[in-house]
């Protein structure tokens, strides 16, 4: 056998081995009512997910509150999700075209292709301002005169009143990189940031970790809670997802996962507030 043929055989062997790994079915051990363990074939499905946004999706789509939650839900089913990250608009386009079996983070109030699951995650969108500026915001009408930084697509997702009021703003900007929104507030580029409360709090923690600066923020609850489900082309997947979701809510796993990811953010901010209070007490008084 020539060296070229040997190389071709080696390559073919590697390709065959890789294909065998991809095509081999995955089995999950389950127990029947008699206590006998049996194997169930699990089907892989492609699921479109959003880009990294802490604390929900992190580490290139392999971790985060939403990812761990959905994986735990699917662990109760005969399906294995294969996550594919893409921008939000492309998520919808790809799913509609049949390019993925499903997609996450679908607003439950909006109609769309395929079946919609029960809501599994919620976003509480808020306005945040620097506490030192003592800004009063009682409703959406109060943001019209302020400079605003928010997430991409906010005018589409946050409703007609938000869209109308922000069009009156002297400076309005949508940015997909939400981790910098709090930094832009700190530096005085904008009066208010609009977005999910936990995303903005996580951005506040990140700023402190990286740059050592912490400034208290005032949270303005001027928007309703938004509930999100998942969408799939196959009703059987939706049914299995809902069943798994009910199971982890009943077992307490849902609350455990939420607490794991969200409580530590609150703990960090509480520590920063204590540090700030201690530093303020220790500072000399100018007479």
What is the pLDDT at residue 111?
Answer: 84
Give the phi and the psi of residue 101 in degrees, each rounded to 5: -75, -25
From first to last of its 287 residues, what are the pLDDT tens digits of the chain? Answer: 444 433 433 433 333 333 333 333 444 444 444 554 445 688 999 999 999 999 999 999 999 999 999 999 999 999 999 999 998 889 999 999 999 999 999 999 888 899 999 999 999 999 999 999 999 999 999 999 999 999 988 998 888 999 999 999 999 999 988 889 999 999 999 999 999 999 999 999 999 999 999 999 999 999 999 999 999 999 999 999 999 999 999 999 999 999 999 999 999 999 998 888 877 666 565 55
| Run of H or E including 17 | helix 3-23
In angstroms, rounded to a whole number, what is the distance separating the alpha carbons of residues 76 and 120? 15
Residue 150 dihedral angles phi and psi, to the nearest 5°: -150, 180
Predicted confidence at residue 90, as pLDDT, reads 93
- pTM equals 0.79
**Residues contacting residue 177 through CB under 8 Å, at least 6 positions apart:** none
Q: Does the bond joining 55 to the residue before it have cis omega, within 30 degrees of 0?
A: yes
| Residue-level pLDDT at 283 | 58
Instruction: Using DSSP, state whether 283 is helix, strand or coil.
Output: coil
Q: Is 145 helix (H, G, I), strand (E, B) or coil?
A: coil
pLDDT of residue 14: 37
pLDDT at site 179 = 86
The reported pLDDT for the residue numbered 20 is: 36
What is the reported pLDDT for 61?
A: 95
Q: What integer pLDDT is reported at residue 284 of this predicted model?
A: 60
**Which structural domains are found in the chain, ordered by start?**
123-224 (3.40.190.10)
Residue 22's pLDDT is 36
pLDDT of residue 184: 96
**According to DSSP H, which parts of 147-252 are helical?**
154-157, 160-166, 181-186, 197-211, 235-251
Nearest Cα residue to 128 out of 208, 64, 190, 60: 190
């Amino acid at each position: 056998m020539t060296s070229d043929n040997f190389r071709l055989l080696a390559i073919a062997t590697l390709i065959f081995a890789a294909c065998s790994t991809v095509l081999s079915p995955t089995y999950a051990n389950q127990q029947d009512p008699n206590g006998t363990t049996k194997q169930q074939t699990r089907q892989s499905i492609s699921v479109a997910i959003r880009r990294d946004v802490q604390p929900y999706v992190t580490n290139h789509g392999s971790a985060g509150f939403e990812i761990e939650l959905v994986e735990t839900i699917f662990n109760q089913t005969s399906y294995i999700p294969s996550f594919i990250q893409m921008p939000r608009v492309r998520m919808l386009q790809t799913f509609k075209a049949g390019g993925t079996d499903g997609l996450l983070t679908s607003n439950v109030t909006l109609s769309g292709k395929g079946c919609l699951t029960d809501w599994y995650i919620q976003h509480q969108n808020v306005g945040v301002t620097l506490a030192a500026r003592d800004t009063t915001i009682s409703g959406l009408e109060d943001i019209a005169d302020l400079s605003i930084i928010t997430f991409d697509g906010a005018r589409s997702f946050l409703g007609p009143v938000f869209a109308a009021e922000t069009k009156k703003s002297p400076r309005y900007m949508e940015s997909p990189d939400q981790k910098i929104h709090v930094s832009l507030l700190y530096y005085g580029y904008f009066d208010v940031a609009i977005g999910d409360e936990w995303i903005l709090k996580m951005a506040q923690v990140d700023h402190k970790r990286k740059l050592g600066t912490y400034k208290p923020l005032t949270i303005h609850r001027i928007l309703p809670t938004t509930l999100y489900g998942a969408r799939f082309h196959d009703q059987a997947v939706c049914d299995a997802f809902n069943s798994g979701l009910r199971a982890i809510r009943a077992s307490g796993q849902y609350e455990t996962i939420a607490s794991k990811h969200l409580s530590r953010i609150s703990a960090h901010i509480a520590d920063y507030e204590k540090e700030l209070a201690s530093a303020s007490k220790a500072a000399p008084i100018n007479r």
